[in-house]
Structure 1
């Protein structure tokens, strides 16, 4: 029997917790790797690992850049306001390859994070401490595992709707720690991949009872039962399970702890680090944060990192009275006689970086609207759609669409307007079989049908994650 020394990645052991005041769980950061037995001897160690798992979501390969920018630059919300020192060129020009793709690092990072989260799920139950606290720790880690798998599935596999039964190839589902020497895991079908994510979230929802693990700071920086339901509702939507997506969206909307912002509150909700009333799950930024962040790339005055502006494709969707339009939610700058507009959702980085919003209540309203429309309940679908439209634009007239196709298209357009720069556009296009049609675009290729292989990121030719585990890859 082989003997394996078990270690958890240094990244997860960084002593930090995501709270509004960004207090540290420990005062001293570790200087070397720590054995799993030592780390998980009690719930304090498990909390340290869970805090590290939340923090890892804010790497540049995940929500601090790649996961947020990729769907919008590919889908048509983003163009460049400069011509040199740009990133995502391969994706923008649709020339990515297995050996050279911007998202290769994201693939490796997500699987590395999965291995760390699986350590929390496996070893926390044997730690000393109250059973209720351990159950909550495992449930939150399980939510993170589901989120990681969901991101991998959206990027590296064809959408659920590609085959009638979603039997086409999906991703590697990692539900236990992978150690050096273990057999390389194999890819599941898309249907199996979605089932694993759903199973994790349903299990987590049942375990998210009792007191929160972290009691300081803002609770929207951690998974709770409502956040897990919101994520599961979105997962169901992506797999065309409209009945279950509706049921959970309806529960979330009726939760009294959240509310839609009014028109006057909307712009200010994207400034500063205090969560808004409609934020369901967001990733906190430490008060002393000073590094590079997603906001640097949208900063028109950042000479080093700034490069991304909104396309006319997007800007032209807004009326002049829409609070989300270019006069209110975009900064502008004229460069070489051309005026560019960059989003205020993430307007600056470094010391002025703001939290990354992963799930907001407005998206849940639009999920419920789509589910109503799919069930031919056009009256209530229009009502939810109008709630979001008129929140943003009080001058808008009520829609009363009675044609299902027209109503669904109106909802898809509203999702693009409401959720721009939040990492959704490409995936909405793919799950609704629309492909891409970028008109304000100077890439080599700007339009592709839903079936084109270039709309799915290639798996790296060979991947060894941070735990020296080979993730088996077989092309697209």
Structure 2
């Protein structure tokens, strides 16, 4: 409880910079956001006193999501910068951790004090707390006549979108999947809807326990339904600020995790026409001609539904940028593609997605993130390709093989002539899951698929997959589409779904501060 007096002295939360960023309970950080000057010392009381300041307060929530804190306030790309992508990749088998940076995540040797999982948890709740402060502040600004209800509702829609996105990220790392129990009544994470900004709320937060996974997903959908109803269809910053289409797209992901196939199709049909060409009537989303374009043109392409923006003036630093972590051409190249996916038979040798790579004498690396100098690569959250494949899987599971196959081939066919024909049933579902591994390689989505499929144990590993160990890697382990990997290279063993390591522990900082959470720690930690 040592930080409680500190927090009570910091209740006037600076929303922009420097900021006190509240976690689930008692975590704080200082962070500078240079591009928001001259409003760089706004307190919570002053942030909602002019329309311009309200706008900047909303921007502050995006900033917290783009580049949260790390030990001592360093910027490392938490929670939705590079760290989000790297964590999602390194919990899976298709990207390979080469150095010590993500060795704990990659090898599943984490504990309640491990930095990667602790800061992921704490920065996600910092985003949630800022979102909740903005919601409360905007409601007051509307009541005071400072902004119109329409403008206020749109701001709240953005905050609720980011709140839902953050809670879902927490659920896929710190809780078992939706289908772990028949009614999803098992423990999820605390779903926070009030800011921790008064002494009473500090005390309340210190006693809040975990919602069930079922209730957490229900609240997620409430937030996203509100966002859909109140966000605009288009913006000048179409990709880096939440829109109606982004809320709908995220709902297709959430409902896929819930195994609500009809719900995925219902939401997806708002964006995806009944037949090709698949150009969305909402937001104008469509697949780009090349699979490389969403990354070559971060902020101006038709496929990216939502991403977090980075720039030369506001980025995640050398130790937290995608360009540094993944790019070997001028970057540190700490994470490479694994031979496990590179050699997969279902990835054609002539597939154009193999060209979005760089090879060295050691390994093969993704080239989706190419700005190692100023770290300006945006962090991808959702692309239209994912929406198409979400709907494809739901249609396949619901029995409409024809539409599922058409959607699958729309994504696959822009990269290779080796499209599928006459697939149905389990073979079609497996092909869709396999396609996700190719299409979203290096985008942090692999763990989400492992998490939602592991209990079923049919279309993906029934646990944490076996992985190639960097110490055992040889350059000639990479043989495109060969269908096998040298046995000695795969030296990090499979961990079954029932093992406690399948999900992360709640951080020691949180369970020490909250006796309710202490009693609800994930088993085994």
Q: What band does the TM-score fall into relative to the shorter chain?
A: 0.7 to 0.9
Change (3 A) 1:142 1:342: same
Change (3 A) 1:286 1:391: same
Q: What is aligned with 1:50?
A: 58
Residue deviations 1:172-229, cap 9 Å, x none? 110011244422211011111111101111112112258x7xx6x5222111111110
Q: How does 1:193-204 map to 2 (within 5 A)?
A: 193-204=216-227
Change (3 A) 1:295 1:470: farther
Q: What is aligned with 1:20?
A: none
CA separation in 2, counterparts of 1:109 and 1:308?
23
Q: What is aligned with 2:334?
A: 307
CA separation in 2, counterparts of 1:313 and 1:384?
25
Say if 2:270 is the partner of 1:251. Answer: yes
Secondary structure of the 1:364 match is helix
CA separation in 1, counterparts of 2:147 and 2:515?
34
Runs (4+) of structure 1 moved beyond 6 Å? 468-471
Q: What is aligned with 1:347?
A: 370
CA separation in 2, counterparts of 1:61 and 1:209?
27
Residue deviations 1:273-312, cap 9 Å, x none? 4331111111122353463312101122557x43111001
Secondary structure of the 1:259 match is coil
CA separation in 2, counterparts of 1:26 and 1:159?
39
* TM-score (ref. length: structure 2): 0.79
Name stretches of at least 5 consecutive residues in structure 2 with no aligned partner.
1-7, 20-32, 68-76, 274-279, 455-460, 471-489
CA separation in 2, counterparts of 1:472 and 1:459?
8
Q: What is aligned with 1:461?
A: 508
Change (3 A) 1:470 1:139: farther
Does the 8 A contact of 2:467 with 2:491 survive in 1? Answer: no
Change (3 A) 1:75 1:5: closer
Shift of 1:463: 2.5
Q: What is aligned with 1:74?
A: 91
Greater relative contact order (Cα < 8 A, sep 6+): 1
Change (3 A) 1:445 1:383: same
Change (3 A) 1:53 1:349: farther
Q: What is aligned with 1:334?
A: 361
* TM-score (ref. length: structure 1): 0.87
Task: Please give the root-mean-square deviation of Cα atoms over the aligned residues, in Å.
Answer: 2.6
CA separation in 1, counterparts of 2:191 and 2:125?
9
CA separation in 1, counterparts of 2:515 and 2:330?
38
Q: What is aligned with 2:517?
A: 472
Q: What is aligned with 1:8?
A: 13
Residue deviations 1:243-278, cap 9 Å, x none? 11111112122424111112xx32243124433111
Does the 8 A contact of 1:298 with 1:308 survive in 2? Answer: yes
Say if 2:108 is the partner of 1:94. Answer: yes
CA separation in 1, counterparts of 2:304 and 2:172?
22
Shift of 1:52: 1.3
Match of 1:222 among 223, 229, 241: 241
CA separation in 2, counterparts of 1:288 and 1:36?
25
CA separation in 2, counterparts of 1:384 and 1:6?
50
Does the 8 A contact of 2:467 with 2:492 survive in 1? Answer: no
Say if 2:41 is the partner of 1:28. Answer: no
Match of 2:494 among 417, 442, 447: 447
Shift of 1:372: 0.5
Say if 2:137 is the partner of 1:123. Answer: yes
CA separation in 2, counterparts of 1:48 and 1:103?
29
When the two structures are aligned, how many residues end up with a matched partner?
A: 444
Shift of 1:321: 1.5
Change (3 A) 1:175 1:10: closer
Residue deviations 1:392-447, cap 9 Å, x none? 21x21432112x22111111101111111111112211211232333533586431
CA separation in 2, counterparts of 1:195 and 1:431?
17
CA separation in 2, counterparts of 1:275 and 1:300?
25
Name stretches of at least 5 consecutive residues in structure 1 with no aligned partner.
15-22
Secondary structure of the 1:282 match is strand
CA separation in 1, counterparts of 2:232 and 2:516?
34
Q: What is aligned with 2:440?
A: 419
